[in-house]
A = this chain, B = another copy of it.
Amino acid sequence: MAKFMDVHHGMQGITAEQLHQAHDADLAIQSEENVVFEQAWADPESGIVYCLSEAPSAEAVQRIHERAGHPADEVHPVPLTV
């Protein structure tokens, strides 16, 4: 398992409710890929959403996001944390 930060662009105008719904859609199926989505942060103005997860691979993170209807534009391992 490793930590990943993934980034979604083009989410201008996202509301708190939409962020919650998107996150819940991930949580509902994440165990099928052994992914744990931990936190997400959104900027409705620039349309960027950041998601932090623990997962076996970047591909596993992306498969959950794709199946939940919101593929990420970038998925980066973040092995260093402070």
Contacts and interface: CB of A to CB of B under 8 A. Distances in A.
Interface of A: 3, 5, 14-16, 19-20, 23, 39-46, 48, 50, 52, 76-82
A82 B40 contact: yes
A5 B79 contact: no
Copies of chain A in the complex: 2
A3 B53 CA distance: 19
A50 B78 contact: yes
B76 A43 contact: yes
B80 A44 contact: yes
Contact of A80 (B19, B46, B79): B19
Q: What 3 pairs across the A-B complex have the smallest Cβ distances?
A: A41-B78, A42-B80, A43-B76
